[in-house]
Chains A and B, each alone.
Chain A
Amino acid sequence: MMFSKSAKNRLKFFILLLISASIIIFFIYNNLKKNTVYFYAPQEIKNLSGVPANKVRLGGLVKEGSLKKNNNTYIFVITDLKNEILVEYNGLLPNLFAEGKSAVVEGFLRDKKYFIASTILAKHDENYMPPEVANALKQKKSK
């Protein structure tokens, strides 16, 4: 093949660029996939085909009268008025966590009815509702 020297150099440079760019993109993409936390409303969990192995977030209302304490473990129900999921949480309840109010918990699903939370996400405004929860509730109302 007849390439001039500079063309060969440019080709080499281009290939090198392509390789390093694809490695970096692959690296970012891989990491992104591993560390993406999906948000679900209880109803969405019911509709999932399997139980996600990754960390997920679950948001909805804390059902009135469902909060119980057993040793250091709290157990309560998160609902979007369509489906309910039992949540187990081992830690401190934040200021604004209360029955009848919205909450978002982060952790793993043991099965489709039972959630083991590692964190309760603290929101700073009493009236603040995560957009996901607001949407889930709005959809419920409009139906």
Chain B
Amino acid sequence: MTAGSIGNLALIVCIILNIYLIFSLTTRVRKKNFKDLKKIKFINNSIFILLLVSFLTLIYCFVISDFANVAVYQNSHTTKPLLYKISGAWGNHEGSMVLFVLILSLFSFLFSNSKVNEELKIYTIFFQSILILIFLIFLIFTSNPFDQIDPKPLQGLGLTPILQDPLLVIHPPFLYFGYVGFSLIFSFALAGLVTNRFNSLWSKVSNFWILLPWSSLTIGIGLGSFWAYYELGWGGYWFWDPVENASLMPWLAATALLHSNIVTLKKDKLYSWTALLSIFTFVMSLLGTFLVRSGVLNSVHAFANDPYRGVYILSIILLITFFSLVIFIIKDPKKSSITNYSFFQRDNFILINNYFLIFFLSVVLVGTVYPIILEAVLGQSISVGPVYYNTILTPFLFVFLFFMAHGPLLNWNKDKNIKLKNIKIFLPISLILSSIIIFVFLDYKNIILFLALIFSIYLIVSVIFDWIFQKKLNLNLGRLFSHLGFGLLIFSIFINAYSSKEINSAMKVGDEVKTQGFIIKFQGINKIKKDNYEEIFGNFLVSKDNKQVQLTPSIRKYNQPVQFTSETSIKSNFITDYYFAINLSEFEKDKIMVRFYYKPFMLWIWFSVLLIAFGGIYQTFRARNEY
């Protein structure tokens, strides 16, 4: 019996157990028997363990290079380092779908072993196991990771070199843990609606299940962006590529959700909105899965190319959206009563920022989906450039920052005295600081950059102010971290966007280029031979105002499959990144194409993302400790 057949068997047993689980849950619901969950838990736990076994078997197949397995044959090679053999298991369509189902089940497993009202628990596991069933069927019938080839090939086709990177080993698990993790809050919301238990207790429990995947997704997006920055060699870190948007959309929806849930918890209102967002967040995750997994995109990430898969996932999305909305409409949660209304209340500001987030989400959604629809309907191929996103989002982002700065400082209840008196403190500070930055440190003066600095510093100042005068610091630390991170992120993004520099040139060894205040010297070349690639390094010396930086970018020639990649060389001094990439041209064989980028505040962008995620993680476990 081969390892592959064990994994396959585990999947099939899973599907049987899962159907059995759904039946036994249905009978329990009919009989209104919500006591003694031992058996349910046992089956649920077994499903998780079997999926884990199946996943581990797949990894094992990759490690021993079992080329009788199609997924291994197509994505692995014996000369590949062990780490990439392992990560090859989830670097392809089939393997990543196993991971998808595994995480669905992991969340069901964690949830069933947590302390929640039994009725809610039964219903949540019920909805979650339906999701697991749907995706298990998808996995086994359209993307089986244990398909065999006969006769067994002697060697595999290899993993795409740009995916051979330590970051890409951990990027997909984080991302999947995040956006598949939103399935639980989706199931939990449906359970709350069906049982009429959509109340503040629901809110309290759901806090954890929103924040946990949200933090993970934040890190996942950050890692992906960081990878694009140093691997693709174009100096950018966010390209508004549909695949990036696919992960951003659930993030935006979940960010709105986690805030509206706070209002639901504290003020006993916005039930419908929170329920709707819970559903919507997971639908966005599914949409992302569809975009990435169906191959409808003409982007670098489109590696799965099979129309059946796309049609199946699209039908799943429509089905799930339709039924969850039906449940939502029939079982609309209780209406909240509006009493004591005043504009200057914290919940109002949260609601306003929720609208903004939904607006941002719709902009991204339209920009991502419109080209696909246009191509499907009219056969026109188009692409939507970054300018679209930047011009629409920027002005609204500034207003968003303003509300974000004041929201947390307001009371939950009507308060006549407070209003926005802090403007008098924040505005002068942010005006002075941003003027100093733009007129003294940056030689580039641009009104949009100036506004961006004002508003982001405004937010940062307000968070610091909040931090200093905070009476319940340990309760609010998560928020302070995340909001500070967001302010810093916007600040860094704009400085980076407006004061980056780029130098392109074709150079020979010994050449020197002087431009934009930089001197670039091409000092030499050396070669290294590794197991699965050859690498040519260029040695460059970049000088600016008497400061010198040595950079050694390289070109790798992989042998399985034969492919060239450029490896960047980046040196950072906390404020600025010096970024170098080279490539060969078939046309001019004696020269090397050189790209140099001067990228201020890059490190701060990554740091801000970590701050945002850290806030989420802190609050996840903080929230847990409260009860």
Interface of B is mostly: mixed
Taking CB atoms and an 8 Å cut-off, the chain B residues in 532-590 that contact chain A are 555, 562-566, 583-588
A35, A93, A97, A122: residue with the most chain B Cβ atoms closer than 10 Å: A35
Taking a contact as CB atoms under 8 Å apart, the answer to whether B383 and A37 are in contact is yes
B391 interfacial by beta-carbon distance below 8 Å:
yes
Cα–Cα, bound, A69→B590 (Å): 14
Contact status of A35 and B384, CB under 8 A, knowing A92-B595, A93-B587, A124-B162 = yes
Taking a contact as CB atoms under 8 Å apart, the answer to whether A92 and B383 are in contact is no
Taking a contact as CB atoms under 8 Å apart, the answer to whether A131 and B298 are in contact is yes
A96, A98, A123: residue with the most chain B Cβ atoms closer than 10 Å: A96
Contact with B along A52-84 (1 / 0, CB 8 A): 000101000000000101000010000000000
Taking CB atoms and an 8 Å cut-off, the chain B residues in 9-26 that contact chain A are none
Contact with A along B60-101 (1 / 0, CB 8 A): 000000000000000000000000000000000000000000
Taking a contact as CB atoms under 8 Å apart, the answer to whether B383 and A39 are in contact is yes
Taking a contact as CB atoms under 8 Å apart, the answer to whether B363 and A92 are in contact is no
Chain B interface size band reads 35 or more
Taking a contact as CB atoms under 8 Å apart, the answer to whether A32 and B366 are in contact is yes
B330 interfacial by beta-carbon distance below 8 Å:
no
Contact status of A69 and B588, CB under 8 A, knowing A36-B382, A92-B504 = yes
Please tell me which one of the listed residues B300, B380, B382, B584 contacts residue A95 in the complex, with CB atoms under 8 A apart.
Answer: B584
B160 interfacial by beta-carbon distance below 8 Å:
yes
Give the number of chain A interface residues (Cβ < 8 Å).
33
CB nearest to B383 among chain A residues: A37
B298, B384, B504, B564: residue with the most chain A Cβ atoms closer than 10 Å: B298
Cα–Cα, bound, A6→B232 (Å): 58
CB nearest to B588 among chain A residues: A69
Taking a contact as CB atoms under 8 Å apart, the answer to whether A94 and B588 are in contact is no
Taking a contact as CB atoms under 8 Å apart, the answer to whether A91 and B382 are in contact is no
Taking a contact as CB atoms under 8 Å apart, the answer to whether B366 and A36 are in contact is no
B392 interfacial by beta-carbon distance below 8 Å:
yes
Cα–Cα, bound, A131→B584 (Å): 25
Name 19 interchain pairs, CB-CB below 8 A, sorted by A.
Answer: A28-B362, A32-B370, A32-B384, A32-B388, A34-B387, A34-B388, A35-B387, A36-B385, A37-B382, A37-B384, A37-B385, A38-B381, A69-B587, A92-B583, A92-B585, A97-B585, A98-B587, A125-B563, A132-B298
Interface residues of B (CB under 8 A from A): 160, 162, 232, 234, 298, 300, 359, 362-363, 366-367, 370-371, 380-385, 387-388, 391-392, 504-506, 555, 562-566, 583-588, 593-595
